[in-house]
Every structure is written in structure tokens, then in C-alpha cells.
Structure 1
């Protein structure tokens, strides 16, 4: 196995607890993101049910991407398109979510490093779509 293939396997293995409660982990991840990076969103959203629901959506989509094991173009292209044209989400926000998730969702060191490696590939692919659309995310 290559290091990258090993990262996918490690992350898939660590993903079970996250997948078991997307609302809990999604709420924790986005609440912390918003608290530590207020430039991402305005207002106090900690504990907000809508934040937890959106966090669950984010983590479910990430779970889909992980299960695709790199064959994620059909999943990622529409997501990248809406994040560029509708939501205007900067690329660095995806890595911030990755870092926060690694800490809040209980991933161990190997899981966190695997998440960074896999997210690096996903973010690079998002960036390709952003550039195609003329969005300097």
C-alpha cells in the first residue's frame, strides 16, 4: 500500500464514531470553528440546532467522499460548484474544519494525520473546480 492508500484506510477505520452520531460531532466541529474563527460567520451559534444540523450535513458529505476512496469526482464537483458560486467558501475553511474535526471528533494522531492527507487531496480537487469557475477561494 502507498502512504496515501494507508491514509484512506486509517481514516475509514477511525470514521465509525463520527458516523455513529453526525449531529453531535457536526455541532461540535462547527461550533468550535465559529468560536475560534469568527471571520467565518457572524453571531454566537454555539449550541444552535441549525449549526448542529449543518455540521451533520458537512460530516455526512465528508463520509461519502471518504467511502469513494479517491473516486469522488461525481460527489465533489457539485459540492465545489455550490461552495464557489452560492456559498463563496474559501479553501482554507475546509482545512480549518479538518483540524477542528480531528480534535473534536476523537480521532487519534494517526486518524488526524490521515484526515489531513485525504483532505489535502479533496481540497486540491475543490480548487480545480474553483479555478474553472473563476472563484479565487
Structure 2
């Protein structure tokens, strides 16, 4: 399964609209804060963020801002490769499987949150077709991560 030529703009356009907002951020990206708020169990994987229990604490965290920018930048690079992401994906999967031990379910959580946040912030440019394309692209990413996890002996 891969994105069709007609689905690609539905991912690229909204992603680029969101991505440009990463430079000059004064607080963590909304999708990362939303992930920790909606799925507090994900905080268990991040020792340095465990004390961030309120939205205000999350918004004030420089470490969380840096982490969020790193996550979204890396994901953006992978999405731009339109499925030809083996070189980018392998080291990411390796660290997530062997060092951080991030379950695939958590990748599903962040994917859902990213779609919600982009839909809220860019509703005019992120209709049903774009949301479906983004969902498909992120599902492909998760499936590829899950396959790599198995190669590294992590069932995640």
C-alpha cells in the first residue's frame, strides 16, 4: 500500500503549513502537549517529562519544545519521502525499539493527535480527503515502524 498521486498533496500541503510553525516556537508543539494530555500513560516512556502534569507546565517546558520539534521534523522528513524512507526509518525504529521502547500503540496515539491538531489549526486546507490521506500516510509509517521493530526483536 502506498499513497496515490492524488493523495500526496493532501499530506504535503497541510504538513508544510504545520511544519513552518516549528521555527520560532515559544512553547512545545500542540500535538505533543495534546498527546501527553490525552494519553498520560505515554509520559511513562519519558523520564524527563514525568513531572509535567498540567498544560501550563507542558507549555513552559523547553525540553518538551525541543523534543516536539525533533519528533515532528523527523516525521516530516519521512512523510516527504513518500514511502521511500528506509534510510531514515531504520535508525529511528532502532532507537524507538531498543532504547526508548515506544509501543506501536503510542505511534498510533501521536498519529491521531497530529490529524486532530492539523484539522483544528488548518480546517480550510485539511478537509476529509486530506485527513484520509494523512491518516493513510501515518498508518504506512506505523506499519513500517512495526516491521522494523520486529527486526530489532521488539514486539512493541
Please report the TM-score for the alignment, with normalisation by the length of structure 1: 0.88
Is residue 2:69 matched to residue 1:53?
Answer: no
* 115-124 or 100-109: bigger deviation: 100-109
**Structure 1 vs Structure 2 CA RMSD:** 2.1
User: Take 1:61 and 1:3, find their aligned partners in 2: how far apart are those partners?
Assistant: 19
- CA distance in 2 between counterparts of 1:128 and 1:3 reads 16
Runs of at least 5 residues in structure 1 that lack an aligned partner in the other structure: none
Other-structure match for 2:107 = 94
Bigger CA drift: 125-134 or 18-27?
18-27
Name the structure, 1 or 2, with higher relative contact order (CA <8 Å, separation 6+).
2
Q: Which residue of 2 aligns with 1:66?
A: 79
- Spell out the pairing of 1:57-136 with structure 2 (5 A cutoff): 57-105=70-118, 106-107=121-122, 108=126, 109-136=128-155
Mean CA deviation greater in 74-83 or 42-51: 42-51
In 2, are the aligned partners of 1:7 and 1:117 still within 8 Å (CA)?
A: no
Aligned length: 136
Q: Distance in 1 between matches of 2:112 and 2:148?
A: 23
Equivalent of 1:36 in 27, 35, 38: 38
Hey, which bits of structure 1, 4+ residues long, moved more than 4 A? Answer: 23-26
